[in-house]
Amino acid sequence: MFDSSAVRDTDTSREVKSGPIRIAAIQMSAGPKIAGNLEEAARLLEIAAAQGAKLAALPEYFCIMGMEDADKVAVREQVDSGPIQEFLSNIAKRLGIWLVGGSIPLVSSRPDKVRNSCLVYDDQGKQVARYDKIHLFGLELGNERYAEEETIEAGCGVVALKTPFGRIGLSICYDLRFPELYRSMGQVDIIFAPAAFTATTGKAHWETLIRARAIENLAYVVAPAQGGYHINGRETHGDSMIVDPWGVILNRLPRGAGVVIAEINPEYQASLRNSLPALNHRILHHC
């Protein structure tokens, strides 16, 4: 069980920007070769920056979708060291954007497992936050079987951080099914949910879960996803989207590699929270 009593809240001590802010969600269909995936991620991030995005997010495991689940264990990186982390830092600095680095495999306490970690970099290339995926996906449905616990060590810390774009909360993929995680963050302005949803569960629940998290938290939700057929035979759902605090889908990309761009408007969000102060009407947390 995660520890909701001690949210790791990083304050970047930057002035919050006013007015609409352009953000981007990157959609990919990653393969087993890290170098190729990083090249594709760079191409798409360059497009996002050229379109004026100041904040961008990559999907879960943008850097590797191996032929076997254990492939990510073989390429796991030490903290603050390795080509994937260097890539994230360098491209954030080069493009002058804040970057939510989807997720990458980092070392864990077990030699046969990784931490599935989401790293955030500021526009100077400095890592300012790390979130380790808490909820590990498991599914046995027909011919499909997934058991993330076999290769991933779960995190236990809730992470939110103050940025020039407002207070953001970090989550990864399967976390979307656990609303208590987002409630434990306190009030956040933007929720990030990089994902690699299966085609089966994505078709059934992806849009519903994202819009629900946006509506109940009166927050923007940025959901960059893996989308398409992978060399390992897996099919991911895609449909990367950015949703506003009223549950309106501002932009989406059903399939294939590409960039989803939308503007978030802090003033509009504040007006919604003022008109419908549901976050202040919560009762159960202090009954």
Question: Catalytic amino acids?
Answer: 60, 133, 173
Q: How far apart are CA 199 and CA 201, in angstroms?
A: 6
Q: Pull the structure tokens for residue 261.
A: 């761009």
Structure token pair of residue 37:
């995936």
Q: Which of 5, 21, 1 is nearest to 183 (CA)?
A: 5
Pairing type for strands 227-229 and 249-253 reads: unpaired
Contacts 24+ apart (CB under 8 A), 134-138: 134/2, 134/158, 134/175, 134/178, 134/181, 135/174, 135/175, 135/177, 135/178, 135/181, 136/174, 137/173, 137/174
Dihedral sign (CA 264, 270, 276, 282): positive
As a whole number of angstroms, the distance between CA 258 and CA 138 comes to 28
Alpha carbon distance 95, 103 (integer Å):
20
User: Do the bridges between strand 240-243 and strand 249-253 make them parallel or antiparallel, or are there none, so unpaired?
Assistant: antiparallel
Nearest-CA neighbor of 227 among 43, 84, 62?
Answer: 62
Strand pairing class (249-253; 258-264): unpaired
Radius of gyration of the chain (CA): 18
CA-based torsion, 274, 6, 284, 220: positive or negative: positive
